[in-house]
Structures are given as structure tokens and as C-alpha cells.
Structure 1
Amino acid sequence: MLDPLISHPKKGSAGKTGEWRVFKPIVDHELCVLCLECHEYCPENVIEVRDGRIWIDYDYCKGCLVCKNVCKMKAIKAEREFY
């Protein structure tokens, strides 16, 4: 049972991104070797593995690009958002 006095992180705990994100990470699945560094360092916990690939939940991704910066294979690129 979880201790009610301790904060437990969960997916998108700060809420949905909305339209204020400037950049979003894009995964190049051809370069990705599933090392999961991006998953380990994602502050929003929005990166997961499904069907043998990395997937990012853009509803909650804040666009901090930590995942891009820690990717040793350079498999994550930044794409500008246009609203």
C-alpha cells in the first residue's frame, strides 16, 4: 500500500501539455537501439516501450528534450511545433 504522506510520481503529473510546447522529440526507430536512457531520464515519465519501439506520449510531453540530450545514438531529434 502506498504511503499517503509521500508524493508518488505518475505519468504527466503536471498535466497535459496544451499548446505551449515549442519543440517535441521525434524518435528515429532505425537508429534507436532500445537502451532506454531516454526513458530513465524523462522527468514526465512519458516514454515507454511498445511493440519493441520507443513511444512518447505527446499529450503529456513538455518538450524539455532531455531525452534528445541523453540519447547516445542520436535517435531523437527535435521538431518545432506549429499551432
Structure 2
Amino acid sequence: AYTGETLCRRPAQGYAEFAQELAALKVRQQVFARLGVTGRTALLQAFAERLAQNKERLAEMVCEEVGRCLHECRAELDKSVELIRYYV
């Protein structure tokens, strides 16, 4: 139910900070790409496992943030985990 409660506040991000974070992400993407298929799939598999292990907490967070019913949020996480595993 809608309560009007503020869930989170954070200050606006300036362009310089955004540009710095974007540059760091581009470097991380290049490192990821150099891992090769075996390294990338291992990281993706670990990510799928973390999502599965934290499904209930994540589903509750999504439910609270976007207002979807909890059952749908759990199903969405299950679908995401299975999709990641499929591509691994």
C-alpha cells in the first residue's frame, strides 16, 4: 500500500562526477572483455548465483520501489537468473 514514505534520497550528481564514473566503467568493460569467454562466463555464473541467493530480499526491494506484487517480482528475478544461466 502507498504510504508516502521516502525510501531513499541522494544528492544530484554533477556532470564531472558522472563523466568520471563513466570513464571508470569503460575501463572495467575493457578488463571484462579481455578475460575471454571462460572468465566472463564464470563472472556471469557467479552473478546469477548471487541473484538467486538474494532473491527474496531483492524481490522485496523491487516490490517496494515500483509497486509490483511480490509474486511478480520473485518471478522476474527467477527469469533473470535463468536467462543469465542460459547465456553462460
Q: Using structure 2 for the length normalisation, give the TM-score.
A: 0.25
Which structure has the greater CA radius of gyration? 2
- Which structure has the highest helix share of the two? 2
The higher relative CO (CA closer than 8 Å, separation ≥ 6) is in 1
TM-score by length of 1: 0.26
More strand by share: 1
